Amino acid sequence: MTRVRQSVACVLAALLSSGCLVSSLHPVYEADAIGFDEMLLGTWENHESEITVVVSRGEWRSYHMAFTDRFGTTRFDGHLTAIGAARFLNVRPSDGLEKPAFVVATNGLMQIESEPGRVRVREPEYAVVLARVKAGKLGLEAATDVKQNVIITASSPRLREWLTTALKDAPLWADWKTFTRSAP
């Protein structure tokens, strides 16, 4: 699955280029920190990248997302969480999908800001994260695979702690992508 298909949908999304992925073995949320925002429900579009994300209510305080780009539609489950004043959407491929042996579903994470009719998302900047991992300077436990995808291996509490500092590190974050509501 391409970076766009896994990450962008993985969070009302963004990644908009084929390339590599930054994801985490553990979710960015903890059970007591899951939130829900009705404003995220609906159909969202980024015309520039030709991406549509349909967000519906999932079980308990989760979201179901159908991410459509030029390659087709992929389904994800998402959970919203706050870390300080920042909000993050954690997304994973929907449960129940047939997965081949040795495939591990990881967690995509994006910072998210919402207001009526508009959602902005940004993700960790892949090239910066990869360079820091290779130099041993990310400040968080992470590994790479043969395709140079970055997989954060730190626990959820450690990941949340790191994000409080990482949010202040501008080069560590990709540009914001804006999605506008096309249907409630």
Question: pLDDT by residue (tens digit) across 83-108?
Answer: 999 999 999 998 665 667 777 889 99
For residues 107 and 101, give the distance between their C-alpha atoms in angstroms, rounded to a whole number. Answer: 18
Which of the two residues, 99 and 125, has the higher pLDDT score? 125
Are 57 and 63 a contacting pair, CB within 8 Å? Answer: yes
For residues 139 and 39, give the distance between their C-alpha atoms in angstroms, rounded to a whole number. Answer: 34
For residues 49 and 2, give the distance between their C-alpha atoms in angstroms, rounded to a whole number. Answer: 15
Judge whether residue 152 has pLDDT over 70: yes
Q: Residue 48: helix, strand or coil by DSSP? A: coil
Q: Which residues are CB-contacts of 99 (< 8 A; sequence separation ≥ 6)?
A: 93, 105
Using pLDDT thresholds of 50, 70 and 90, give the confidence band for residue 2.
very low
Q: How remote is the C-alpha of 45 from its chain's centroid?
A: 16
For residues 3 and 20, give the distance between their C-alpha atoms in angstroms, rounded to a whole number. Answer: 5
Judge whether residue 16 has pLDDT over 50: no
pTM: 0.84
Domain boundaries, the chain: 3-174
Joined tokens for residue 2: 């391409």
Are 110 and 123 a contacting pair, CB within 8 Å? Answer: yes
Instruction: Kindly state the greatest CA–CA separation across the chain.
Output: 45
